[in-house]
Amino acid sequence: MSSPVWHPFTQHGLNEPIPEVARTEGAAIHTADGRRVIDAISSWWVITHGHSHPRLQAAIRKASERFDQIIFAGWTHEPAETLACGLIDITPEPLQHVFYSDSGSTAVEVALKMALGFWTNIGQPRHRIVVMQHSYHGDTIGTMSVGQRGVFNQAYAPLLFDVATVPFPTAGAERASVDALDAFCRQEPKPAAFIVEPLILGAGGMLIYSAETLRALADVCARHGVLFIADEVMTGWGRTGTLLACEQAGVSPDILCLSKGLTGGALPLAATLATAPIFEAHRSTDRAKMFFHSSSYTANPIACAVAAENLSIWREEPVLDRVAALGQAQQAHLDRLSAHPALSNIRRLGTIAAVDFEGARGGYLSGLGPWLLKFFRERDLLIRPLGDTVYVMPPYCIDDADLSRVWAAIEEAAEVVHAGI
C-alpha cells in the first residue's frame, strides 16, 4: 500500500524509509515500530524546551476548551493581547506593534510588505530589497526572492524578484560586506530595506558571522534611512545563547520576524514586530493605507495561548542557564573533535554546533549528504546534514547521555569518511 502523502523536501523516487511517529517526549521521537530516535535538530529548529512539554500541552488543552479560530480583522481575544504585550516587553523598546501570521515564511512576507507599505504610505515609494549571500528566508515566492538562488528555486527563478546581494561576511572579509551594503544604500533609487538572519545563516549552512559585523550592517542602514529587517525565525528563543541574536550586537531592528520557537514548537504561529513609525505610516483615516494582509488562521487563539505560556516559561524558569549549559556541553564535544582530519570549520554559536565533512564537494546535493543521513538514521538519530555540513541543534532539555550518543555517531561517521568510503 503506498501512501498518498507528498512529503516536503523528500525525494519519493529514492524510496527512503519514512518512519511513522507514535509520540514525542523531551529530546526524543518514539516511532510506531518501537524505536527511540534522538531529535538532534529540534524537528527542524522549532522545539526549544523539549517535545510535548507539559506546560505547553496543558496550555493547549485549556485554550482549546474556550476557543477555536476567530476572525482577527476587527476582532481580538485575550491570548493575542497577552502575547503581544509579552513580546513587546522582551524585545527592544522601539518595537511597539505585533502583527500575527502562521509561519516563518509569512512573517517574512509580512515584513517585506510592511517595509514597502511604509515607503509608499509616506509618499516616497521604494521597492528594492538588499539581502545577504547564502541567506534563507522561506519557500514562498517572495521569501525565495530574498534568499539564496540555487537548486531549491531554479524552476521558479523567472518569477522571483530582483534583489541586491551583499557578500557573506566571512572572517577577515567583513569590510567587503559592510561596504557593499553602504554602496547599495547610496544608490538611487534607494533600497526600501535590508533583510538578514542575525549572527548565523541557518539553511545556508550554519554560517556564523560576528556581532560587530551585524552591528556595522545595522549602523549602515540607520545612517542611510534604510529599514533593517531581522529574520530571527531560527535564531530567536535562545538558540544563539541569548533570547534574540540581535541582543549580542546591541541592534534594534525596525522589523523583527519571529516564528519556530515562538510557541516552543508546539503549534504554528508567527509574529512580525514593527516600530511606531512603520505602524503610524499605515494608520490613517484613508482606508487605502491600511495594511493589506491577512491569512485565515492569523492569531489562532490556541497558538497564541501556547506562545503566551512559552513566555511564562521564559520568565519563570532558568531557560538561559540551560542554554548556556547546553552550549558548554556542545563545546566540549567540538573540542574533542577539533583536530579530526575528516572535519573542518568546527564552529558553535550558543546551542548550535556545526562541522563540515572534508572531501566535501560542497552544495546541498553533494555526495556525502545522503550517505550521512542514512548513517545517522541507522543509529536512531535525527540529524539532517546541510550538504556536507553536519550540525547539532537539540532541544534544551537534551541530557548528557543523548548528546554524547549524537556526537559519538558524528565521530564514527568522520572515522568512516577518513578511512575512505
Ligand X SMILES: *Cc1c(COP(=O)(O)O)cnc(C)c1O
Cell of 80: 493575542
Rounded to whole angstroms, how far apart are CA atoms 120 and 106?
21
Q: What one-character DSSP code corresponds to residue 78?
A: H
Rounded to whole angstroms, how far apart are CA atoms 261 and 232?
10
Stretch that binds ligand X, among 69-77, 112-120, 181-189, 226-234 (CB under 6 A): 226-234
Task: Name the CA radius of gyration of the chain, rounded.
Answer: 21
Give me the residues paired with residue 26 across strands.
51
Nearer Cβ to ligand X, position 329 or 383? Answer: 383
Q: Which one of 130, 200, 233, 360 is in contact with ligand X (CB under 6 A)?
A: 233
Going through 232-269 in order, the beta strands assigned E by DSSP cover: 255-258
Count of residues making up the chain:
421
Minimum distance between the CB of residue 203 and ligand X, rounded to whole angstroms? 6
Nearer Cβ to ligand X, position 245 or 329? Answer: 245
Q: Quick check: 207 binds ligand X (CB under 6 A)?
A: no
Q: Quick check: 204 binds ligand X (CB under 6 A)?
A: no
Nearer Cβ to ligand X, position 306 or 413? Answer: 306
Q: Quick check: 109 binds ligand X (CB under 6 A)?
A: no
Rounded to whole angstroms, how far apart are CA atoms 88 and 90?
6
Q: Quick check: 265 binds ligand X (CB under 6 A)?
A: no
Nearer Cβ to ligand X, position 197 or 388? Answer: 197
Q: Quick check: 105 binds ligand X (CB under 6 A)?
A: yes
Minimum distance between the CB of residue 107 and ligand X, rounded to whole angstroms? 7
Minimum distance between the CB of residue 112 and ligand X, rounded to whole angstroms? 12
Rounded to whole angstroms, how far apart are CA atoms 245 and 351?
12
SS3 130: strand
The site that binds ligand X (CB under 6 A) totals a number of residues, namely: 14
Q: Which one of 24, 48, 91, 103 is in contact with ligand X (CB under 6 A)?
A: 103
Nearer Cβ to ligand X, position 39 or 197? Answer: 197
Minimum distance between the CB of residue 231 and ligand X, rounded to whole angstroms? 5
Q: Quick check: 255 binds ligand X (CB under 6 A)?
A: no
Q: CA angle, corner 54, sides to 48 and 55, nearest 5?
A: 80
Q: For the chain, percent helix, then strand, then coil, each to nearest 5?
A: 40, 15, 40
Stretch that binds ligand X, among 122-130, 211-219, 229-237, 245-253 (CB under 6 A): 229-237
HSE of 377, CA atoms in CB hemisphere, 13 A:
12
Segment 132 to 191, residues that bind ligand X, using CB under 6 A: 136-138
Nearer Cβ to ligand X, position 231 or 356? Answer: 231
Q: What one-character DSSP code corresponds to residue 253?
A: -
The type of residue at 11 is: Q
Q: Which one of 108, 115, 206, 390 is in contact with ligand X (CB under 6 A)?
A: 108
Q: Quick check: 197 binds ligand X (CB under 6 A)?
A: yes
Q: Scanning the structure block, which residue is given the C-alpha cell 566571512?
A: 170
Q: Quick check: 121 binds ligand X (CB under 6 A)?
A: no
Q: Which residue is nearest to ligand X (CB)?
A: 104
Give me the residues paired with residue 391 across strands.
354
Contact status, residue 323 vs residue 317, Cβ threshold 8 Å: no
Q: How many CB atoms lie within 10 A of CB 150?
A: 13
Question: Contact positions toward ligand X, by CB under 6 A?
Answer: 103-105, 108, 136-138, 197, 202-203, 231, 233-234, 259
